[in-house]
Amino acid sequence: MKIDHEAIKNLAGLLNETGLTEIEIAEGDHRIRVTKAVTVQAIAAPQQMPAFAPANVAGPTGVSNVAAISADNHPGAVKSPMVGTAYLQSEPSAPRFAPKGASVKVGDTLLIIEAMKVMNPIKAEKAGTIVDVLVEDGQPVEFGQVLFIIE
């Protein structure tokens, strides 16, 4: 079998770009599989402190002092459906799809995630106002990572 060194280099590049640890292609009876060694490091879990509910006490302004909701469990969190690279606009000179403070409707494009050379538009699943943008343009993102908060 003749070894296609260029195909192996391209597959190795895809492993690095996507964070995968193994990729295989087949053509007829010929197969090429590229794998990357993964080092797993065990880390002791921190001891968990007992949870206490915050007191709902009105301060001098009459505003309630309730603990803030984290981005991960926020009801308006928009999470990445895939691993890839986030792009907040269609091209470098174009305006952002959904900047902080913008109003969005269901189906509006919030950003594009490039995964394996495919541009995937990520759409708003609820209407509201963008209150936080938690990614930078060109930043790698992970599956389940919070990208936006919509209220």
- Could you tell me the pTM of the whole model? 0.53
pLDDT exceeds 50 at position 140: yes
| Segment 19-58, tens digit of pLDDT | 777 777 777 777 777 777 655 555 555 555 555 444 444 4
* pLDDT at residue number 83: 93
> Percentage of the chain surpassing pLDDT 70?
77
Which residue would you say has higher pLDDT here, 59 or 101? Answer: 101
d(CA 115, CA 119): 7
Structure letter (DSSP) for residue 67: P
Residues of the chain with CATH 2.40.50.100: 77-150
> Quick one: average pLDDT of 141-151?
91
> Quick one: average pLDDT of 87-102?
90
* pLDDT at residue number 46: 53
CATH 2.40.50.100 corresponds to the domain 77-150: yes
> Percentage of the chain surpassing pLDDT 90?
36
d(CA 100, CA 85): 19
> Quick one: average pLDDT of 70-93?
86
pLDDT exceeds 70 at position 136: yes
* pLDDT at residue number 12: 79
| Segment 11-27, tens digit of pLDDT | 778 777 777 777 777 77
- Spell 88-119 as b/e; 16+ CB within 10 A means b: beeeeeeebbbeeebebeeeeebbbbbbeeee
d(CA 127, CA 41): 42
pLDDT interval class at 67 (50, 70, 90): very low
Q: Report whether 111 contacts 150 (CB < 8 A).
A: no
